[in-house]
Amino acid sequence: MSDIGPLRLLASRLEEADAILAYAGPMPRRLAAVRALLRQFRTDDMPTRSTRALWICIVEAMIGLGVRTVSVQEIDTLSERIRALQEAIRRTVAATG
């Protein structure tokens, strides 16, 4: 991604994903919503090595959570990773914009 427009979209989607995880609804639905929201992005869309590494952690966490019962701690960890990636993307946008 060389254009900052897609990076802004990614940051916005990450913010939405974090909000969905914080919602008090049924966990399987929240995870499905986050997966659907982030599905359009790929590792190649990440602007730096560090953001790619964060993205891979998020994808692996979502795959690992699957459809099994998920603990609050696991959701908190996923949410922390999403916020870290969101902040890194926003820093990249600010530096290039």
- Helix axis angle, 27-38 to 72-96, nearest 10°: 20
Report yes or no: 8 and 93 within 8 Å, Cβ to Cβ.
yes
Distance, in Å, from the CA atom of 16 to the CA atom of 21, rounded to the nearest integer, reads 9
Domain residue limits at 16: 4-96
The pLDDT tens digits of the residues spanning 1-25 come to 457 899 999 999 999 999 999 988 8
Domain count, the chain: 1
pLDDT value for 1: 44
User: Which amino acid, 21?
Assistant: L
Give pTM, 2 decimals: 0.90
* C-beta separation of 14 from 86 below 8 A: yes
Q: Which two tokens stand for residue 12?
A: 């916005």
**Residue reference for tokens 């999403």:** 82
